[in-house]
Amino acid sequence: MRFLAVFFGFALVLLAHAHKVIGISDGDTLTLLVDEKPLKVRLANIDAPEKAQPFGERSKQSLSDLCWGKDATYKEQDIDRYGRTVAVVMCGGVEVNRAQIERGMAWVYPQYNQDLSLPGLEAMARRDRRGLWTDAEPTPPWEFRRPQIKKASTMLPNSSVEGICFIDRYGEYHVVDGRKRYGC
């Protein structure tokens, strides 16, 4: 009997700190309703594909399946440069940071990972070819977001000077007078 009282007391404490999930931005970002205000939360330790990448929408759908409309709890680890809370999130008793890795819907973010068990889970998802690991060579989002050099020498428009052409998610560009000029 005493055990039941302790259990229900603990459950009430957890429910008192649970927050409704009211939005899913992508595979690693969701919005909680905290004190009747939206709070954008970035899942700690992982990085999901960008929306424009292969598996970007599937990763978002996976997080939505785990959390949309459910009560969630979170353990804050940091605030990122965009003002989002970086946290480990639980939805319906499932740690979604870990679940996204297990499902193959996100990478372990090596630069920020603090959970030493996640690389092993990613290795198993990769071995079993789950989610994004069905792709032969998936591009990590941190590389996708970084402009990449396409060609070593491209003629700049209206110029006899050779320049470097870069690629970002919006297309090919080069820099002229400190500004991006699209189209190489």
State the catalytic residues: 42, 50, 84
Give the pairing of strands 94-95 and 85-91.
antiparallel
For residue 58, give both structure tokens. Answer: 């599937």
Tokens at 96, concatenated: 């979604």
C-alpha span between 63 and 99 (Å, rounded): 9
149, 166 in Cβ contact below 8 A? yes
Length of the chain: 184
User: SS3 of 87, please?
Assistant: strand
Determine the distance from the C-alpha atom of residue 148 to the mean position of all C-alpha atoms in its chain, rounded to a whole number. Answer: 21
Q: Compute φ and ψ for 183, nearest 5 degrees.
A: 95, 110
- The Cα 175–Cα 36 span in angstroms is 45
Q: Are the CB atoms for 135 and 144 separated by under 8 Å?
A: no
